[in-house]
Amino acid sequence: MTEPQDVPEIPPYAEAVLDLTERIPPGRVMTYGDVAEYLGRGGPRQVGRVMAMYGGSVPWWRVIRADGRPLPGHEHRALPEYRAEGTPLRTVGGEPRVDLRAARWDGTP
């Protein structure tokens, strides 16, 4: 059994990214850059790193690339989530993408 002191602490920046991700409403998305801009620190790569390391427990599919494509390699997991939540999608070059004009969330409650 893992003792509380053996569990690594999540850095404050990662906590902020995860908290914001949990607040994105179903059917809406933010880009990695949107998250960084909203938090006022870091950048898209830092947000991506946080999501890669800690994002499994939050609705990770709601944080996407700036071109609207689901996370490469995770499309088969993200697309059913988008469809279940009613996230606006469009087709570009035969592949589904999130329609950012309709789905982008600005952080307003």
Give the pTM.
0.89
Q: Domain of 87? A: 12-103
29: buried, middle or exposed (CB in 10 Å: 19+, 13-18, 0-12)? buried
Q: Is residue 53 part of a domain?
A: yes
Cα-based torsion angle of the residue sequence 79, 63, 101, 98 in order, rounded to the nearest 10 degrees? -20
Supply the CATH number for residue 98's domain: 1.10.10.10
Check residue 7 and give its pLDDT: 56
Check residue 86 and give its pLDDT: 97
pLDDT of 52-109, one tens digit each?
A: 999 999 999 999 999 998 878 888 999 999 999 999 999 999 989 999 999 999 998 8
d(CA 108, CA 94): 32
